[in-house]
Each structure stands twice: as C-alpha cells, then as structure tokens.
Structure 1
C-alpha cells in the first residue's frame, strides 16, 4: 500500500467525493445539496478547487500496487485552515442557497460538533475506506500515516471527532491510542452528538 497526496489529474475525484460524502451523510445532505448527487458534485468541485476545508491539498489517498484507491484521509493542522478561505470557496462553487446554509448552519455545526483546533493541533476531518476493502487494516494504516504527517509538521497532538452512533470507528481509534476528551451534545442537532478524541504526540 502507498499513502500519497491526492493528485487531481491522476486520481478519481468522483470516488474521492463519494467516500468523503459517506463519512457525514446527515450533515452533507443538510449543507451541500438536496440529494446525494448534488452533494457529491459540490464536494468534488471543492476538492478540485483547493484552498478550502475539502481542498485537494488536504487530502491523502491509500492505493494498492495496481493503483486502486482503497481509502482517503482529509486532514490539516491548525496553521493550515482558514474559515475565510472556506467561505470564499463555498461562495464561488455553491449556489446561493447552499452557500447560505454552509455560512450559517455549517458554522454552527463546526462550533457545536467538532473539536476546537489550535495551531499545534492536527485534525483528521474525514477518514474513509472503500467498503470492498474494509477489514484489511487500511483504517489503521491511514491513522499511522496521519500521525507521522502530524509529527513531520511539528504538531503536539492529533484530533478527530466520531459520532455517538459510530461505535466501530470509536473502537478502532481507542485501540490505536486515541482517548475521548470532550463530549458534544448540542441541543440544536438532536440525536447527532460527537466525541472529540485526541492522540498526544511526544
């Protein structure tokens, strides 16, 4: 397996956007489109455009020796993210209605359901493994490479958020060494809480 940065000219952006979409179905339906087709198309355009939360510069892929994409990781340090850049990308790519949803509701979601990110933190935003390749250690491989990337960038800890319902992912993260440090249960999003988890770097 190889862990490499996404190449927009080489890799299948449709598959990348579908894998990202699957990590947060409920939220993406609320923010990026009326259905899966519209939402994944918007994600694809954000990926290709770059300089935003889902920009290609923040994405790594895992491929096998034949070039098949097995999984993806969207991640960045606190020094590499900008809410202003995100809003500019949303305004440029989304229709006005979806832009307003991202600008207002998206901001509320980020503040209510995701970890607070410091400059020395490295955040794992979206982790996804293609369903046909699950159970082969690819998730752990993604985490190992994410930690190495965070160390190379001089970060102090790695953060991620996992929904209450995703118990399988929570077990994977705990086995790897992540620990829960915050529970997020906003009243605005009933039934959609998250656990913020951290992995301390030495």
Structure 2
C-alpha cells in the first residue's frame, strides 16, 4: 500500500470525499439535506484546503491527510486517513475557513459537523499520534485493508517517538471497535452528544507504547 498526501491533480477528489462522508455518515445525513449535498461540501472543502496549503507552504501544520492506494494499481483507491501529530483541531479556525471559502449552506453544515466533533472526540496531548479519520472503500472491506492501515499507523507513530496512538470510534460501529480492540487498543473515555436530530456517541481508545519507546 502507498500512503500519499491528498493531491486533486492525482487523486479522484470525488471518491475521496465519499470516503470522508463514510467516516461520519450518520451525522452528515442528519445535518445536510442529502448525501449528495454533504459530499459536494466535503469535496469543496478538500479542494479549498489543498489550494490554501499550496499558497501557504511555510505553514507548520501537524495534520496530514493521506490517500491510500494499491502499489501496483495507482488508480485503485483503498482508503483515506487524517492524522494529527500532537495537535487538537481548532473549531473557530476551521469554521472561519469554511465561511471564507465555501458557499453559505456548505459552510454552515460543515461547521455543525465540526461542532459535534468538538464534543465527542478526544483531547490530544502533544505526544499523541491521533487518528482523526479512517475509511476504506466498501469493495475493499473484509480483506484485511483496515488492519494493514492500522499496523502502518502504529508503526509510524512508534518510529516517530509518540507515546500513544489515539482514535475515536462510534459506539454503533461494532466492526471497527472489534478491530481496534483486537490490535491492542483500550477504551479510556466515552463521550455523548445530542442536539435535536443529531446524536453521536463515541469511545475514545488508545494504544500505549512501552515507556522505553520514547
């Protein structure tokens, strides 16, 4: 598998947006009028963020958004991951970016999604490697792709000297929970949020490296 920073000149931004939608499908469906509207907003956000990063090459970001594909078939998208290396997402900065770069309703919808995330996702320490988003293509599931991605993430975090890998999993995503548990992740927190029709419950999970790793 190849992990490569998202580049819309190389990767299919529509397919990538569809995978981001899958990460938080229940919340997106409650906030946006349709799946199509949600995916359109996500795609516009991805393209706007890519352009911003190009125009601000000196910006020291600890966030990396990777597209994963088959090493022998570059056109075959396997999944996506968004990681944060010791930094929490800034809700206000993200919201301002959306309203500056996107259409009003797209910005409003994505800001609501981010608002829900702020109340249900883990707080990150500077020595945490945080797996903020992970999704695999439907056609590639149950083939060990998710496990291979997780093994890669754990190994990278260990090599870079982080104390633990942190992720959040929806309580209703039992398959993902069982995968993470089987790989050594432990629950350290549980969070719930409800606002009108929007509801989200998550387990915060951690994979702690032995102290001699750092």
- Scaled to the shorter chain, the TM-score interval is 0.7 to 0.9
Counterparts of 2:93 and 2:194 in 1: how far apart (Å)?
28
- Determine the structure 2 residue equivalent to 1:3: 3
Confirm whether residue 144 of structure 1 aligns to residue 145 of structure 2. no
Counterparts of 2:130 and 2:99 in 1: how far apart (Å)?
24
Confirm whether residue 161 of structure 1 aligns to residue 168 of structure 2. yes
Larger strand proportion, structure 1 or 2? 2
CA gap 1:153/1:108 in 2 versus in 1, 3 angstroms: same
Q: 1:19 offset after TM fit, Å? A: 0.7
Q: 1:121 offset after TM fit, Å? A: 1.7
Give the TM-score of the pair, scaled to structure 1. 0.84
Could you list the per-position Cα deviations for residues 156-188 of structure 1 after superposition, in whole angstroms to 9, with x for gaps in the alignment? Answer: 221111111111100000111111001112354
Counterparts of 1:74 and 1:121 in 2: how far apart (Å)?
14
Contact 1:42 1:93 in 2 (8 A): no
2:82 to 66, 74, 77: 74
- Determine the structure 2 residue equivalent to 1:177: 184
Instruction: Structure 2 unaligned segments of length 5 or more: list them.
Output: 54-60
Counterparts of 1:10 and 1:150 in 2: how far apart (Å)?
26
Give the number of the structure whose alpha-carbon radius of gyration is greater: 2
Could you list the per-position Cα deviations for residues 57-81 of structure 1 after superposition, in whole angstroms to 9, with x for gaps in the alignment? Answer: 6221221111111111111123374
CA gap 1:28/1:191 in 2 versus in 1, 3 angstroms: closer
Counterparts of 2:87 and 2:201 in 1: how far apart (Å)?
26
RMSD: 2.5
Instruction: Structure 1 unaligned segments of length 5 or more: list them.
Output: none
Counterparts of 2:47 and 2:159 in 1: how far apart (Å)?
25
- Determine the structure 2 residue equivalent to 1:62: 68
Equivalent pairs counted in the alignment come to 197
- Determine the structure 2 residue equivalent to 1:85: 93
Counterparts of 2:15 and 2:109 in 1: how far apart (Å)?
25
Partner SS, residue 134 of structure 2: strand
Contact 1:159 1:199 in 2 (8 A): yes
- Determine the structure 2 residue equivalent to 1:37: 36
Contact 2:86 2:129 in 1 (8 A): yes
- Determine the structure 2 residue equivalent to 1:21: 21
